[in-house]
Structure 1
Amino acid sequence: MHVQIGTSIQHPSLPVLEKRLYRISLFNLFLVSFIGLYLRSAPVTSIWAGSYKNILHAHSHFAFGGWIMPALVALIIRFFPELANTISYKHWRNLSALLLIAAYGMLCSFPFQGYGPVSICFSTLSIIASFYFAWLVWHARVSSKDSIAHQFLRAGLFYLVLSSAGPFATAPLIAMGKAGSALYFNVIYFYLHFQYNGWFTFALLAVLYKITGHAPGRYSKNAFALFNISCIPAYFLSVLWSHPAPAFFIIAAVAAILQLIALFYLLADIVDNNNNRRLNGLVRLSLGIFAMKIILQLLGAFPAIADMSYLHRNFIIAYLHLVLLGFVTFFIMGAMHLHESPTERSSKKWSILFIATWILTEGLLLLQATGEVADFQIPNFTTWLFLASCFFPVAILGIWIKDLSS
């Protein structure tokens, strides 16, 4: 049943909140990059304080809760005004506050206690905030027939809620003495899969269809259906490292093939759409990386490649950064600066530096991981990776400062 939770009249402060939320998120990305740089300094300096594992937890949780989630909320407010304007301003204000309080709480608690009472409370608050967001947007649906963009968004909200089953299942597993087991890690991968390949992907594709226009493309229904059908079984791509029964390899392979077909439909839809000129360079680059992600997932369905990826950590790190930086971050930045003319693009040189740094660090990670397979090493790899990563916070800080002045 549709629940009216506000009016369709835009609150005058909503655009201000959306812009402010994005700018805070962008600053949080700077903090994420700075923490990442600190982590990469560990092998190259004798002056290093703290627990590497705990700081890594802070880095990953804050990346999700402090950068991606608030930025996606800002995107939804901007590109779905017919939904945003039916939700009372106080809900958006409260949601933003909850997300940021939870994010900074995790940032400040994880480095000192890892998974402890305080950090778990803030992690739980972050999940509650995501439920709140899903409830708000789900019940703010427009009364007319859903567009393809709305369908992608609603599916994304479903996967956002579904992903929370992962964190909620870890506590019972720890209590049963299963921490560190294959089941424990597969529960964590359950959360990551439905965040990366569910919520993040479907939300960004919803925005993509908003950018390219309201009229459904010739292939949009096929693209949505196949991405949606394949999302749940594609989870098994994340568990192949534990050598499950052969049936799981078959399910994972079929899901990966369906995703690849969905990708072809999506790209055909974009090429066929006259409004594809609205897409700027960053969004186009992001979609190219998204295509690369789909192809890599298909390759990962082969047992030998699944084993190789699991045994060599730098392959995993490179893949995570491919998704979080290459696909998600580039798309968010491109979409938020979509309507700027070339002369108004305040962060162009900093964006180029950001992209170049990402390419350089990805190349180093892949080269080192390949070297481990082929039995050769990059001399002073950790030093080179640290030096290359120094440009991440510089570029992001430059983008943030320019965004403040625009």
Structure 2
Amino acid sequence: MFSKWLRISLFNLMLVAFLGMILRYKILFSLPFLDQKHLLHAHSHFAFSGWVSQILMVLMVAALSRQKGALVFAKYNWLLYANLISSFGMLIFFTLQGYSLLSIIFSTLSIITSWLFAYIYWKDLNQLPVKTIAHCWLKAALVFNALSAMGAFSLAFMMANKMTSQNWYLLSVYFFLHFQYNGWFLFACMGLLMDKIQGVFPDQRLMKQIFRLFLWACAPAYFLSALWLNLPVWLYVLVVAAALGQVYAWVKMLQQLWIKRMTLKTLLGPITKFLLLLSAVAFTVKLSLQLGSTIPSLSQLAFGFRPIVIGYLHLILLGVITLFLLGFIFSEKPAFQGKKIRLAVGIFTTGVILNELLLMIQGVAAMSYILVPGINELLLLTAIVLFSGMLLLNFCVRCIK
């Protein structure tokens, strides 16, 4: 059952890459039967729910099954299907209708499913005889996922009532994004990693300190996306402290990983090590950019240019989260190996790196009001590379019994 859900999740990632390719195609060429804005909503919602949330749920259930037995998947099967159905409902109806009654119904179903998953999974964690630091990360992830729904509901409320306040619209969008990216996604990934390598770190006190720093910093870090509101001094100081706290915690984490690098080398396979290293580099870049954004002038400049925002979001979703999850999948499923799979991973990873470089170039050029010749053609080519890598990966894993 675990292998089945892994294959479904990887298929969903391939669909996300396909939608990204179509979006890039429509910037250059006519495709009149598809609305660009509707397709963009479908792409983002399906990436969050159909790919990241789906695979996180699958991997979290797999982690639980190691302590409670394989039958745990039967208990969560209906929740995994509910999330899958709601994800495809959003994919279809956002593509066809944008924000309509049906797309909002499936979005709401997705949120309710995440709440039910959080409730049941929390109870199962509490029933385990041994509590670890991994459980703290996973519980925090569940809370942040539930909290992010406030942004989605406020956004739906504003659209339903045709409210046009730009500030409230942006605050709602950034609230949802922040507690998904920096809450649910990040804390769940860290929880899975801690569960995988918990025996490597004997100093649990330090691991708890790192967790508490990230936990404390998560809520105030939301206001990094709202520095254009001219925040009061006390809140701005809290935001800067949160950004510094995350950097400090990450440095401490990297120190521990470096000390235990030989042990980790034997624990993780070559593909996993490669992907997790790239994910760690991307996360380091993310935290550095986040710290730089505490300078108000830089923050206003960055958030004023769409390519920079898009590049930053893709850095997190592709560079940090997706590469980590792919690496973790290969560590959980050693059978998903071989030359063709390594080739597929190499193609996809090349696409991720090229995509970030091109978006960075486009963003920096936009800040100087310079149009880079051929940049959209290159981004389309990169989107094709990403899709090709995922297409080959899906073909390979389906040939493995």
Fold conserved (TM > 0.5)?
A: yes
2-structure distance, mates of 1:86, 1:179: 50
Q: Is the 8 A contact 1:19 1:74 kept in 2?
A: no
Judging by fraction of residues, say which structure has more helix: 2
**Secondary structure of the corresponding residue to residue 371 of structure 2:** coil
Match of 2:263 among 233, 257, 275: 275
Segment of structure 1 superposing worse, 85-94 or 280-289:
85-94
Q: Is the 8 A contact 2:141 2:183 kept in 1?
A: yes
Q: What stretches of structure 1 of length at least 5 have no aligned partner?
A: 1-15
**2:244 corresponds to:** 257
Superposition deviation, residue 304 in structure 1: 1.6
Q: Is the 8 A contact 1:23 1:400 kept in 2?
A: yes
Instruction: Output the aligned Cα RMSD.
Output: 2.1
Match of 1:395 among 375, 389, 396: 389
Superposition deviation, residue 180 in structure 1: 4.5
**Secondary structure of the corresponding residue to residue 401 of structure 1:** helix
Identical pairs, percent: 33
Superposition deviation, residue 333 in structure 1: 0.7
**1:230 corresponds to:** 217
**Secondary structure of the corresponding residue to residue 132 of structure 1:** helix
**Secondary structure of the corresponding residue to residue 239 of structure 1:** helix
**2:180 corresponds to:** 195
Aligned positions of 1:100-179 closer than 5 A: 100-141=84-125, 142-174=127-159, 177-179=162-164
**1:204 corresponds to:** 189
**1:302 corresponds to:** 295
**2:227 corresponds to:** 240
Aligned positions of 1:317-328 closer than 5 A: 317-328=310-321
**1:386 corresponds to:** 380
**1:99 corresponds to:** 83
**1:336 corresponds to:** 329
Offset from partner CA, 1:219-262 (integer Å, 9 cap, x none): 21111010011011111111123444444432221110011111
- Count of aligned residue pairs for this structure pair: 390
Q: What stretches of structure 2 of length at least 5 have no aligned partner?
A: none
Q: Using a 3 Å threshold, how does the CA distance of structure 1 residues 137 and 214 change in structure 2: closer, same or farther? A: farther
Segment of structure 1 superposing worse, 205-214 or 173-182:
173-182
**Secondary structure of the corresponding residue to residue 174 of structure 2:** helix
Q: Using a 3 Å threshold, how does the CA distance of structure 1 residues 52 and 342 change in structure 2: closer, same or farther? A: closer
Work out whether 1:368 is the aligned partner of 2:362: yes
2-structure distance, mates of 1:63, 1:223: 29
Superposition deviation, residue 190 in structure 1: 0.8
Superposition deviation, residue 209 in structure 1: 1.1
**Secondary structure of the corresponding residue to residue 199 of structure 2:** coil
TM-score scaled by length of structure 2: 0.91
